[in-house]
C-alpha cells in the first residue's frame, strides 16, 4: 500500500519533470546565438542561393570579419538540428572536385525565431532612456 503510494509520487514527479524539460527546451529553441543569428540573416539575404561558401563570403564582405568553415558548419548543423533551417543537395562543379553543394532554406520556425530575436532586441532598444544615446 505504502509502496504503491510512493511509486505513484515518483511517477507524478517524473511526469512533471519531463514536462518542465520540454517547456524549457521550447523556450530555448527560440534562442539564437549571436553567430547563429548572423548566419540565419545572411541565408535570408542570399535567398535560395545560400550554401556554405556563399554564406561565408557574404558575411565576410558585409561584416568585415573572417569566418572559418569549421565555425560555419557547426553553426549550420546546430540551426538545422533546432529546425530553423532545412537543406538539400544541389549541383556540383569542377572546383568542388565533384562534391555537391548543400543549400539552405529558412523554415517557418526559423522565421519565428528570427522575429522573436528581433522583437527582443527592439524591446530592449525601446527600454533604453533616450538621454543615454543623445550624449
Interface ranges with another protein (CB under 8 A): 52-53, 56, 68-71, 73-74, 77-78, 89, 92, 95-102
* 80 versus 116: smaller Cβ distance to another protein: 80
Q: Which residue's C-alpha cell is 533546432?
A: 82
Give me the least distance between CB of 80 and another protein, in Å please: 10
* 4 versus 81: smaller Cβ distance to another protein: 81
CA 112, 86, 81, 23 dihedral sign is positive
Give me the least distance between CB of 127 and another protein, in Å please: 35
Give me the least distance between CB of 112 and another protein, in Å please: 24
The closest alpha carbon to 51, from 115, 103, 11, 4, belongs to 103
* 16 versus 83: smaller Cβ distance to another protein: 83
Amino acid at each position: 500500500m505504502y509502496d504503491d503510494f510512493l511509486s505513484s509520487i515518483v511517477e507524478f514527479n517524473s511526469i512533471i519533470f519531463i514536462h518542465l524539460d520540454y517547456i524549457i527546451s521550447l523556450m530555448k529553441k527560440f534562442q539564437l546565438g549571436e553567430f547563429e543569428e548572423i548566419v540565419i540573416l545572411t541565408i535570408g539575404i542570399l535567398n535560395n542561393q545560400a550554401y556554405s561558401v556563399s554564406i561565408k563570403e557574404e558575411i565576410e564582405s558585409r561584416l568585415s570579419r573572417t569566418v572559418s568553415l569549421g565555425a560555419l558548419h557547426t553553426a549550420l548543423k546546430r540551426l538545422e538540428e533546432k529546425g530553423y533551417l532545412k537543406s538539400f543537395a544541389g549541383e556540383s562543379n569542377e572546383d568542388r572536385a565533384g562534391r555537391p553543394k548543400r543549400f539552405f532554406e529558412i523554415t517557418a520556425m526559423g522565421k519565428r525565431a528570427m522575429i522573436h530575436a528581433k522583437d527582443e532586441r527592439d524591446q530592449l532598444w525601446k527600454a533604453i532612456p533616450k538621454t543615454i544615446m543623445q550624449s
